[in-house]
Amino acid sequence: MFIRTNIQGVYPGEIRALVNILTLPGFAVRMREGRLDLKKAEMFRKSSWSNPEYDALMAAHNARIAAINMKGIINRVINNAGLLILNSVSTL
């Protein structure tokens, strides 16, 4: 299973894409050297698919988390700006 999740990055407007690759149950291949059938491994890889409903659910969740993060950033900027003004007034 491949899961791609877009999240808010560190910088304003930055979007980071995370890709998780899961195989349940586990997929392992053990062959003698030179005997691995890469066509079969590729066939297995191509057989996976994403779930659009899950993708939409995760996108909505990530949007809520990004909104909470942005609110925190704005509050910190406002609070820090207020402290700067108070500090500059008190030194006059």
User: What is the distance of C-alpha 62 from the center of its chain?
Assistant: 8
Q: Which domain holds residue 25?
A: 2-90
Taking residue 66's Cβ as centre, other Cβ atoms within 10 Å add up to 15
Tell me the per-residue pLDDT of 24-49, one tens digit each, with 9 for 90 and over: 655 666 777 877 777 877 887 777 77
The answer to whether the predicted template modeling score (pTM) of the entire model surpasses 0.75 is: no
User: What residue has token string 């890889």?
Assistant: 45
Q: What is the pLDDT of residue 86?
A: 57
The pLDDT confidence band at residue 50, using thresholds 50, 70 and 90, is confident
The pLDDT confidence band at residue 21, using thresholds 50, 70 and 90, is confident
Is the N-terminal amide bond of 12 cis, ω within 30° of 0? no
CA pair distance 5, 15, nearest whole angstrom: 10
User: What phi and psi, each to the nearest 5 degrees, are found at residue 91?
Assistant: -90, -5
Question: Would you state the structure tokens that stand for residue 43, as one six-digit string?
Answer: 């066939």
User: What residue has token string 């980071």?
Assistant: 16
Tell me the per-residue pLDDT of 53-87, one tens digit each, with 9 for 90 and over: 888 888 899 899 999 988 988 888 888 776 666 56
What domain count does the chain have?
Answer: 1
